[in-house]
Structure 1
Amino acid sequence: MTEPLRVTWVQPEDLLGHELRQAAEDGRDAAAAAATWYAAGGPPSPPRAGASTPPAPPELRALALTLLSRLADLPGPLAESEPTELPEIVRARGGGWPAAEPTTPTARARPDATTTPRATHGQGSGGPPPIRGRGGRGETLGTHQLHAAWLGRAAGCLLGKPVEKLTLPAIRALARATGNWPLNSWFTAEGVPADLAAAHPWNRRSAANSLAENIDGMPEDDDLNYPLLNVLLLQRYGRGFRTADVARLWLDQLPAGRTFTAERVAYRNLLSGIEPPDTARHHNPFREWIGAAIRADVHGWTHPGDPASAAEQAYRDATLTHTANGVYSAMFVAGTIAAAGGGADVHASLRAGLAVVPPRSRLAEAVRHGIGTARAHNDFDTVVDRLHAAHGHHHWVHAIPNAALVAAALTHADGDFTGSICRAVSGGWDTDSNGATAGSVAGLLAGHPDRLPERWTAPLKNRLATSVVGFDGTGFDELARLTQEALRP
């Protein structure tokens, strides 16, 4: 007898467990639904992966669908401080969009009044200091700057791939076993004791192409597929694209099996005849997870010096799949990158990212906590431990803890490339996505591929593997050129 097919992230019995967890996080009273579910023998949400085993019997699956619909109708107490509609987001942050922060040296050096003074960190990137003062509202980044950002995103993603889904203690143990802690280089299986390797196996899909001994170009990853798709989005529809255009592009170019979490549910909803923005809401317990944030880089790259426009563009992309904090995470990343592209340093860039999201949202609070904690402690392990203590109740793919960690890593590394990606990955949670976002920001701050350490860029071999039709094997220099061309009239 063949084993049943278990497609991750869409089984009703698994979605229900995740929706109960989401309800507990956003304050909806799901006690009655939870009691009904567990009394019927329903499982909790899978702790690390996307499908539980064995599959639920038909009656339990039917109950899961009923309860998912019932939970969707529960009122939430956070709607006022965490809206999803764009006009309400603007009102929540005080009305209007913030102006771009000046990029003069005085403005960049101004201390953040909301945090304690930060000690000096950073071990050096191995390259010249970052370029300052480039870009500006209404301008386009040069191909060298975009090339560095693409390379930074790829290197950070690749660094995090072998330890994706592993717990923080496991990541630390594996790195320490090879003398790579604090993390400063690629992970390796060489020298890891057999019992430790058995206790903490590398990510199954990534171990063959993302450990130091077997990297041969940039392997496929959704953290690179989505930026590539957004370049195509701008080529086809321009900056005025609609959310429905994002959906059309996905159906044309993105294999369903290359989607995960909220994106997979939204894809399924599209095929079921559900239209945006309901695709983000219907039986989608992952709507506040990290997926929209990993799609946001291009929106920032293409609006240097204009965080508000970058955030608004990211909003139109994000609402295909996400709501509330899931949307804010994309707006935050886009705003941060846009400010960095306009010449702001990493700290002013993070402030710009925060300025475009509702200030009372849990994501904004978590980002402020990440920045403040990074400023208060010299030892980044201490920073990470405090972030996990505060935000570890979330799923490891949720947007809130990961945004806090990325902000902390960028703050603590003070713009240094190696420090940024290594801190982001060493903090656990969604390691490849966090490394990618930190690498994109730090690469853009560096401003030129030659300013990134060769030990991070050479293994990429200027080659990206992807299932996006027509782009497998594309070089990062070509991706930079395509990104810039997508903005030409």
Structure 2
Amino acid sequence: MSRLTWVQPPDLLAHELVASADDGKPVQDVRDRWTRAGGRAEAPRAGLGQPGDPTLRALAVELLDELDARPVPPEVADREPDDLAAIEASLPGPPEVVTVDAALDPALPDRLLGAWTGRAVGCLLGKPVEKIPREGIREILQSQGRWPLRDWFTAEGLAPEIADRWPWNRRSAPTSLAENIAGVPEDDDLNFPMLALGLVEQKGRGFATDDVADAWLAGLPGGRVFTAERVAYRNLLLGEDPPRTATRHNPFREWIGAQIRADLYGWVHPGDPAAAARAAWTDARLSHVRNGVYGAMLVAAACARAVTGGTVHDALQAGLSVVPPRSRYAEAVRLGVELGRSGLAIEEALDELYAEHGHRHWVHVLNNAALAAYALTVGDGDLERSICTAVTGGWDTDSVGATVGSVCGAVAGAAALPSRWVAPLGNRVASSLPGFDGIGLDALADRTLALARGGAR
């Protein structure tokens, strides 16, 4: 029988032991009880979805409740607050506003199209190798004489033994390898910005977290969400309200999911990183806490700055200006920026990132945020160099590629993006969201522009 992954209590507990330890909670007593009963304490790489022995399952639920009830130590809560007012109070000053007249700025339409297009390109580039580690990506490319990465992935010329050792993402390869691309296939990295677009069109820029929950339940199939989003979706179905949806049996609460949802909130608040970050916080708290929420806030703020011009470095600084400066998230982003400026060869810099964050799950927000910051900094606005660096870095390849592509595309504008990356998209995005399947990137940009100008479709 097929089981829904990422929600089975034994798997969740293994991940929760890691998450609670990261939070500074005591976990050894729970780990001992679990392993003595025959449970596996090693966190699975993916959501296995096997319920296992009923007795172990019941114990896992009990232990998850126990870990949920343990408070985060005050020193962690102080430097990494959850409450929006506390987050804003932790900042050294108000984020800089870049005054933009969205109705008159002649470059804004092209930058918004560039943002949507860059996001789609980066996502599509990373899709075939999602879940393949960095060393596997390099071996695939070297075996084909295509290292370093400078083009779409392809199965042509790949030796069978390497293909067996590093299999493509089965869901993605049929539509995301060079020989198969015919438009942009469905992906959560694109579904979520489209969902946010529809949300703001319907509810306005002052939407509430409950509105986000309603939008999920009305238009987002449960099988199209993963990790923290899938747990939050389950919690909604169980009758939980936000922000409890983000914390009940949710060990993925500081993973990357909220960070991939936030671009639209920046695009509709051009030049205003604080407003973009507040909208992203409102969305993110449905499924995430602390560093998971900061990822959404930083990306929204960076996107708000990117569509006003300037550089990718300006966008990153705008993003950093809205997150608690003593948080682990800010530290991770600063590390990525420092390595991008260091002059180290890319592989040496990636080694440094892995030395600091290589122990984390490939979907965690901290390692992926550091990688995104590094790729943007070292790429210096060049779309190809930036997304290729992001993807060859491993971890969550399609999500980091999408975020990096979004910022680069917004700064450059659509007209400046290389046609060899844009043409295969065919100006068509597939989606299971009602009303969005087959939509053009130009239509998405037009609808976003209407919101940025204070109106609706």
- Pairwise TM-score range, normalised by the shorter structure: over 0.9
1:485 aligns with 450
Structure 1 residues 46 and 6 mapped into 2: Cα distance closer, same or farther (>3 Å)?
farther
Distance in 2 between the 1:433 and 1:64 partners? 30
Which letter does structure 2 place at the counterpart of 1:85?
A: D
**Structure 1 residue 196 corresponds to structure 2 residue 169:** no
Conserved 8 A contact 1:296-1:333: yes
Q: 2:434 aligns with which of 451, 464, 469?
A: 469
**Structure 1 residue 66 corresponds to structure 2 residue 62:** yes
Which letter does structure 1 place at the counterpart of 2:412?
A: A
Greater Cα offset, 388-397 or 432-441:
388-397
Please list, as runs of the form range in 1=range in 2, the aligned pairs for 1:5-20 lying within 5 A after superposition.
5-20=2-17
Deviation at 1:67, TM superposition (A): 0.6
Distance in 2 between the 1:227 and 1:220 partners? 12
Please list, as runs of the form range in 1=range in 2, the aligned pairs for 1:81-92 lying within 5 A after superposition.
81-92=79-90
Distance in 2 between the 1:200 and 1:363 partners? 31
Aligned residues: 451
Distance in 2 between the 1:422 and 1:303 partners? 28
1:235 aligns with 201
Q: 1:34 aligns with which of 13, 31, 34?
A: 31
Could you give the per-residue CA deviations for residues 91-150 of structure 1, whole angstroms, max 9, x where no partner exists? 2224x53223x6xxxxxxxxxxxxxxxxxxxxxxxxxxxxxxx94689877332211111
Q: 2:356 aligns with which of 363, 379, 390?
A: 390
1:76 aligns with 72
Distance in 1 between the 2:208 and 2:311 partners? 31
1:368 aligns with 334
Distance in 2 between the 1:295 and 1:459 partners? 24
Conserved 8 A contact 2:108-2:307: no
Distance in 2 between the 1:137 and 1:194 partners? 53
Deviation at 1:377, TM superposition (A): 2.8
Deviation at 1:274, TM superposition (A): 0.3
Deviation at 1:44, TM superposition (A): 3.1
Distance in 2 between the 1:374 and 1:144 partners? 27
Which letter does structure 2 place at the counterpart of 1:180?
A: R
Which letter does structure 1 place at the counterpart of 2:61?
A: L
Greater Cα offset, 302-311 or 337-346:
337-346
Which letter does structure 2 place at the counterpart of 1:478?
A: A
Which letter does structure 2 place at the counterpart of 1:41?
A: G
Greater Cα offset, 12-21 or 338-347:
338-347
1:214 aligns with 180
Conserved 8 A contact 1:406-1:438: yes
Deviation at 1:45, TM superposition (A): 4.8
Secondary structure of 1:223's counterpart equals: helix
Which letter does structure 2 place at the counterpart of 1:185?
A: D
Secondary structure of 2:78's counterpart equals: coil
Q: 1:456 aligns with which of 421, 433, 437?
A: 421
Conserved 8 A contact 2:120-2:402: yes
Could you give the per-residue CA deviations for residues 198-250 of structure 1, whole angstroms, max 9, x where no partner exists? 11111111111111111111000000000000000101100000000000111
Distance in 2 between the 1:178 and 1:436 partners? 25
Which letter does structure 1 place at the counterpart of 2:86?
A: E
Structure 1 residues 137 and 486 mapped into 2: Cα distance closer, same or farther (>3 Å)?
closer
Q: 2:53 aligns with which of 54, 57, 69?
A: 57
Conserved 8 A contact 2:332-2:369: yes
Which letter does structure 1 place at the counterpart of 2:87?
A: I
Which letter does structure 1 place at the counterpart of 2:2?
A: L
**Structure 1 residue 327 corresponds to structure 2 residue 293:** yes
Deviation at 1:356, TM superposition (A): 0.5
Which letter does structure 2 place at the counterpart of 1:433?
A: S
Structure 1 residue runs without a partner (length 5+): 103-133
Structure 1 residues 472 and 289 mapped into 2: Cα distance closer, same or farther (>3 Å)?
same
Deviation at 1:354, TM superposition (A): 0.6
Secondary structure of 2:79's counterpart equals: coil
Structure 1 residues 322 and 373 mapped into 2: Cα distance closer, same or farther (>3 Å)?
same
Deviation at 1:450, TM superposition (A): 2.4
Please list, as runs of the form range in 1=range in 2, the aligned pairs for 1:242-391 lying within 5 A after superposition.
242-391=208-357
Conserved 8 A contact 1:161-1:431: yes
RMSD: 1.6
Which letter does structure 2 place at the counterpart of 1:267?
A: Y
Identity of aligned residues (%): 55
Conserved 8 A contact 1:136-1:305: no
Distance in 2 between the 1:289 and 1:45 partners? 18
Which letter does structure 2 place at the counterpart of 1:91?
A: A
Distance in 1 between the 2:61 and 2:45 partners? 22
Which letter does structure 2 place at the counterpart of 1:322?
A: H
Which letter does structure 2 place at the counterpart of 1:477?
A: D
Distance in 1 between the 2:346 and 2:101 partners? 33
Conserved 8 A contact 2:268-2:451: no
Secondary structure of 2:200's counterpart equals: helix
Distance in 2 between the 1:6 and 1:42 partners? 19
Deviation at 1:46, TM superposition (A): 4.5
Could you give the per-residue CA deviations for residues 378-421 of structure 1, whole angstroms, max 9, x where no partner exists? 41111111101100111110001000000000000111111111
Structure 1 residues 370 and 137 mapped into 2: Cα distance closer, same or farther (>3 Å)?
farther
Which letter does structure 1 place at the counterpart of 2:416?
A: R
Conserved 8 A contact 1:306-1:342: no
2:41 aligns with 44
Structure 1 residues 260 and 45 mapped into 2: Cα distance closer, same or farther (>3 Å)?
farther
Distance in 2 between the 1:211 and 1:5 partners? 27
